[in-house]
């Protein structure tokens, strides 16, 4: 008897689907697993996608069935390239993208090397996330082609496609340019002149400013006297939020 394990999402939770030919003995064994659940809509048993649950399943069925984890391992390898922490949750759209459009082996290596280099150079968590997202989108579009084979013209075509066809914002395209430049320059070690890519000009936008009457209306609607004083002090002195929250308590003597 063989149980085929496949990546599975149900009710926004990542799991492992168990597919096997109907067998009463095997069904009874799985039913007794602490976190095994039956999905009526999918017609299969499933368990949470954790090593503990996998090992518990393997131990429970070792005398009556073999586990075929080929599809599951391929999915986890793809996931690890994008989300290295096994404890990090993955959203269902991302999981479906991994399943429907897997990266080829060379591009998985590229993704892992890219993330590692960003971490070695101590980039911020937000920058690593944004850069990895942009490189991931490019790699998905390449299909079986390796990113290392791309030339300047192909990269420029991709950026123009983002702007003209996908309608991406200038900010996002800037992030994509930086991510691509980082990969070719710091991971592959190519010459810097290769990265002379066209960058869209960021639109100049004036900040939204409240009228005097709107500010007065907001202040008058604050019932707590202490809170009203804090808002008035911040507005009149032009303080940042961080500066307001760091005001010493002795500087505000009004009780709320």
Residues forming beta bridges with residue 47, ordered by sequence position: 16
| Same-domain pairing of 114 and 185 | yes
| Same-domain pairing of 187 and 107 | yes
pLDDT at residue 205 is higher than 90: no
The predicted model gives 67-73 an average pLDDT of: 94
| Same-domain pairing of 123 and 161 | yes
Q: What is the mean pLDDT of the chain?
A: 86
Q: What percent of the chain has pLDDT over 90?
A: 45
| Same-domain pairing of 131 and 179 | yes
| Same-domain pairing of 125 and 180 | yes
Query: Regarding predicted confidence, which is higher, 7 or 163?
Result: 7
Task: Decide if 86 is inside a domain.
Answer: no
| Same-domain pairing of 190 and 221 | no
Task: Decide if 8 is inside a domain.
Answer: yes
| Same-domain pairing of 172 and 220 | no
pLDDT band at 17 (very low <50, low <70, confident <90, very high): very high
8 A C-beta contact, residue 91 and residue 129: no
Residues forming beta bridges with residue 3, ordered by sequence position: 67
For 43-80, what is the HEC assignment?
Answer: CEEEEECCHHHHHHHHHHHCCCCEEECHHHHHHHHHHH
Last residue of a domain, one of 27, 50, 72: 72
Q: What is the dihedral of CA 86, 92, 94, 98, to 10 degrees?
A: 80
Task: Decide if 82 is inside a domain.
Answer: no
The predicted model gives 180-188 an average pLDDT of: 93
The CATH number of the domain holding residue 131 is: 1.10.150.130
Tally the domains of the chain: 3
Task: Decide if 97 is inside a domain.
Answer: no
- The residue range of the domain holding 20 is 2-72
Give residues with Cβ within 8 angstroms of 166, minimum separation 6: none
- pLDDT of 198 reads 58
- pLDDT of 227 reads 87
Of the candidates 186, 188, 199, 120, the residue with the CA atom closest to the CA atom of residue 150:
188
| Same-domain pairing of 109 and 191 | yes
Is residue 34 classed as helix, strand or coil in its secondary structure? Answer: coil
8 A C-beta contact, residue 183 and residue 107: no
């Amino acid at each position: 008897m063989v149980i085929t394990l496949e990546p599975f999402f149900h009710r926004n939770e990542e799991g492992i689907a168990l597919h096997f030919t109907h067998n009463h003995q095997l069904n009874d064994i799985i039913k007794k697993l602490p976190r095994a659940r039956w999905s009526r809509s999918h017609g299969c048993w499933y368990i949470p996608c954790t090593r503990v649950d996998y090992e518990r399943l393997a131990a429970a069925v070792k005398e009556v069935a073999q586990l075929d984890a080929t599809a599951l391992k391929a999915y986890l390898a793809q996931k690890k390239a994008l989300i290295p922490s096994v404890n990090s949750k993955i959203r269902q759209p991302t999981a479906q993208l991994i399943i429907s459009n897997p990266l080829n082996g060379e591009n998985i290596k590229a993704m892992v090397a890219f993330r590692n280099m960003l971490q070695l150079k101590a980039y911020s968590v937000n920058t690593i996330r944004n850069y990895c997202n942009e490189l991931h989108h490019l790699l998905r579009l390449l299909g079986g082609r390796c990113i290392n084979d791309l030339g300047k013209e192909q990269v420029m075509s991709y950026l123009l496609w983002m702007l003209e066809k996908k309608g991406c914002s200038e900010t996002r395209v800037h992030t994509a340019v930086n991510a691509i430049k980082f990969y070719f320059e710091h991971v592959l070690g190519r010459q810097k002149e290769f990265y002379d890519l066209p960058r869209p000009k960021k639109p100049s936008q004036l900040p939204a400013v409240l009228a005097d009457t709107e500010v007065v209306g907001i202040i008058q609607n604050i019932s707590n006297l202490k809170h009203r004083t804090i808002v008035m002090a911040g507005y009149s002195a032009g303080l940042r939020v961080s500066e307001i929250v760091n005001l010493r308590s002795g500087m505000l003597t009004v009780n709320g």
